[in-house]
């Protein structure tokens, strides 16, 4: 078989394939013999299987997929992490803002005890003053002042009679 003959055979075969794809009847074959075969998963031109695709959805592109949402996320996280590390290494961020923060931290425990005792002392003094005004005092000064008031009250009542 010569090259010219092989070329003619190949041209005839390709023409027949184009007509089959278009749905036309092939010359030399009667329409009553066999129905036209539509190759849905086989590509006769390349003689390989086609990948499964929907012909109706070819022009619709998926934009809301996870891959599109996550695209570039890793690079952003790496860049932010590098920026944080650069900020953490800054000497002004390492040094405390107030140089006496450790002294305050140590004294807070002691001051809490003193504050509680101070409040107890203030309450005791207020109770003593209130009791002294009513005349019911435990301390000597309060008792003396209460006796003087009571004596003055009796003197004024004796004079009125």
- pLDDT band for position 94 (50/70/90)? low
Q: Which residue has the higher pLDDT, 52 or 109?
A: 109
Q: How many CB atoms lie within 10 A of CB 128?
A: 15
Q: Which residue has the higher pLDDT, 48 or 117?
A: 117
Spatial distance between the Cα atoms of 79 and 154, rounded to a whole number of angstroms: 91
Spatial distance between the Cα atoms of 62 and 23, rounded to a whole number of angstroms: 32
Average the pLDDT over 115-127 and give the result: 93
- pLDDT band for position 89 (50/70/90)? low
What does pLDDT average to over the chain? 77
Which bin fits 153, alpha (ψ -120 to 50), beta or left (φ > 0)?
alpha
pTM of the full structure: 0.26
Average the pLDDT over 42-47 and give the result: 80
* 3-class SS string, the chain: CCHHHHHHHHHHHHHHHHHHHHCCCCCCCCCCCCCCCCCCCEECCCCEECCCCCCCCCCCCCCCCHHHHHCCHHHHHHHHHHHHHHHHCCHHHHCCCCCCHHHHHHHHHHHHHHHHHHHHHHHHHHHHHHHHHHCCCCCHHHHHHHHHHHHHHHHHHHHHC
- pLDDT on residue 137: 54
On the question of pLDDT at 14 being above 90, the answer is yes
On the question of pLDDT at 12 being above 60, the answer is yes
Query: Residue 30 — φ and ψ, nearest 5°?
Result: -75, 150
Across 73-77, 98-102, 109-113, 135-139, least confident range: 135-139
On the question of pLDDT at 31 being above 60, the answer is no
On the question of pLDDT at 82 being above 80, the answer is yes
Average the pLDDT over 109-133 and give the result: 90
């Amino acid at each position: 078989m010569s090259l010219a003959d092989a070329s003619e055979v190949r041209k005839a075969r390709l023409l027949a394939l184009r007509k089959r794809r278009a749905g036309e009847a092939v010359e030399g074959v009667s329409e009553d013999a066999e129905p036209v075969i539509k190759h849905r998963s086989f590509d006769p031109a390349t003689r390989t299987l086609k990948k499964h695709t929907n012909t109706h959805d070819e022009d619709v592109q998926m934009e809301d997929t996870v891959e599109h949402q996550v695209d570039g996320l890793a690079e952003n996280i790496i860049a932010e992490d590098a920026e944080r590390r650069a900020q953490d290494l800054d000497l002004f961020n390492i040094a405390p803002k107030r140089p006496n923060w450790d002294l305050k931290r140590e004294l807070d425990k002691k001051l809490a005890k003193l504050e509680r005792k101070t409040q107890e002392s203030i309450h005791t003094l207020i109770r003593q003053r209130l009791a002294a005004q009513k005349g019911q005092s435990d301390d000597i000064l309060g008792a003396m002042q209460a006796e003087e008031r009571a004596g003055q009250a009796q003197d004024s009542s004796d004079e009125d009679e």
